Amino acid sequence: MLPFVADLRLVDHHCHGVLRADVDRTGFEELLTEADHVSPLGTSLFDSSIGLAVRRWCPPVLDLEPHASAEDYLYRRRSLGAAEVNRAFLMAAGVGTYLVDGGLSPELLLPHAELAAVTGAESFEVVRLELLAERVVAAGCTAAGFADAVRTALDASDAVGAKSIAAYRVGLALRPERPSEPEVAAAAGRWLARGGRCADEVVSRFLVWEALDRRLPVQFHVGYGDSDADLHRCDPLLLTDLLRATAGLGVPVMLLHNYPFHRNAGYLAQVYPHVFVDLGLATHGVGHQAGRLLAEALEVVPFGKFLFSTDAYGLPELYHLGVLLFRRALSDFLSAAMASGDLVEADAVRIARLIGHENARRAYRLD
């Protein structure tokens, strides 16, 4: 691996926390991929790209041989306990700065400050917009008071960015216009009458505009995720109208994950001034094939618009793999270009720094 990539400081601009508690084999497999459960029609989810990657890279962190069996690995993991396993993998990952979306099952995960404390890293919060709205509703508000209650909650947040899961709730074909106050009140009224979680296009759109108003970069879940998503509604191109409408604000919009639409995302990052993209989740999800995927993702995106993230959730192994497979993929990409004479080292170093941390620090104004 290129030494300047092996040593590269990393800002992980999108991740979640690690589990506080131990998991058994079933629990481990359920967190390994986006499948809800291991299917009796298939075989173990260790039979997958990410499963092979776990078995190659993770046992040595716990003092086992590479390619240990799943049984041996999980036995060792259990015998060490969650706290030690978390510490070992987070140390191995060596992320310098975390931007944490702590809004998915927060009761099970370490919050961002505790996550960062494990390794003495820096951390920041990213506020999950739909959860914020759901908490506003849970705290009790009228339809007419919903908008201002959201604004108050956002103003009280010390997050450095906001996260929208509109992709999961209503799809990415958001209308471009900022919704009017009466539209938001009407949407809130429908939601209050219906109950349940935040799943209204007007509300999702309102939340995005409010975050942008506060100059909070907005992250969108894009592309693949769990079975709750309709992937055909998660193509980033569906955001085109909204991106065009918000370009003039000068506030970054981050397209997360993007697989298998990563080329579409790269195009958007090229033509819209405020759009950034990453390849989180997919980088470790495809295991040893991450190199080809990163190369595709870097075809047309300006290097000043690509961010590193792991999208790790629950298992600390995913931080380690997200980092390791990213470093390896980036190193392979740069090495190949240097070997063919298409890139000189000084430029390779600069590109690595942009992607590794400089773009994130600039876009989120972390300094």
Question: How near is the Cβ of 324 to a copy of itself at its closest, in Å?
Answer: 12
Out of 33, 64, 118, 186, the only residue in the binding site for a copy of itself (CB under 8 A) is: 33
Q: What does the alpha-carbon distance between residue 241 and residue 186 come to, in Å, rounded to a whole number?
A: 23
293 contributes a contact to a copy of itself by CB under 8 A: yes
Q: Which stretch, 19-27, 73-81, 205-213, 244-252, contacts a copy of itself (CB under 8 A)?
A: 244-252
67 contributes a contact to a copy of itself by CB under 8 A: yes
State in Å, rounded, how far the first CA of the chain is from the last one.
29
Out of 9, 22, 27, 56, the only residue in the binding site for a copy of itself (CB under 8 A) is: 56
Three-state secondary structure call for residue 356: helix
Question: How near is the Cβ of 59 to a copy of itself at its closest, in Å?
Answer: 12
Out of 1, 6, 21, 47, the only residue in the binding site for a copy of itself (CB under 8 A) is: 47
Nearer to a copy of itself, 147 or 243 (CB): 243
Nearest to 98 by CA among 107, 80, 85, 110: 110
Question: How near is the Cβ of 285 to a copy of itself at its closest, in Å?
Answer: 6
Nearer to a copy of itself, 102 or 280 (CB): 280
Out of 26, 43, 79, 105, the only residue in the binding site for a copy of itself (CB under 8 A) is: 43
Q: Which stretch, 6-14, 198-206, 316-324, 350-358, contacts a copy of itself (CB under 8 A)?
A: 350-358
Q: Which of residues 251-290 bind a copy of itself (CB under 8 A)?
A: 252, 259-260, 263-264, 267-268, 270-274, 276, 282, 285-289
| Number of alpha carbons in the 13 Å side-chain half-sphere of residue 111 | 5
Q: What does the alpha-carbon distance between residue 195 and residue 129 come to, in Å, rounded to a whole number?
A: 17
Three-state secondary structure call for residue 60: helix
DSSP 221-246: EES--STTS-GGG--GGGGHHHHHHH
Nearest to 34 by CA among 93, 104, 136, 123: 104
Out of 159, 351, 352, 360, the only residue in the binding site for a copy of itself (CB under 8 A) is: 351
Please enumerate in sequence order all residues whose Cβ is within 8 A of that of 276, keeping only pairs 6 or more positions apart, or say none.
Answer: 217, 252, 253, 254, 255, 269, 305, 306, 307, 359, 363
Angstrom CA distances, 360 to 162, 217, 253, 308, stand at 14, 10, 12, 8
Q: Which of residues 324-343 bind a copy of itself (CB under 8 A)?
A: 337, 340-343
Site residue total, a copy of itself (CB under 8 A):
79
Q: Which of residues 173-232 bind a copy of itself (CB under 8 A)?
A: 224, 226-227, 230-232
The answer to whether 25 touches 74, Cβ cutoff 8 Å, is yes
Nearer to a copy of itself, 192 or 237 (CB): 237
299 contributes a contact to a copy of itself by CB under 8 A: yes
Out of 21, 42, 122, 175, the only residue in the binding site for a copy of itself (CB under 8 A) is: 42
Q: What does the alpha-carbon distance between residue 257 and residue 294 come to, in Å, rounded to a whole number?
A: 11
Cis? peptide before 260, omega within 30° of 0: yes
Q: What does the alpha-carbon distance between residue 272 and residue 185 come to, in Å, rounded to a whole number?
A: 31
27 contributes a contact to a copy of itself by CB under 8 A: no
Nearer to a copy of itself, 186 or 300 (CB): 300
Nearer to a copy of itself, 26 or 142 (CB): 26
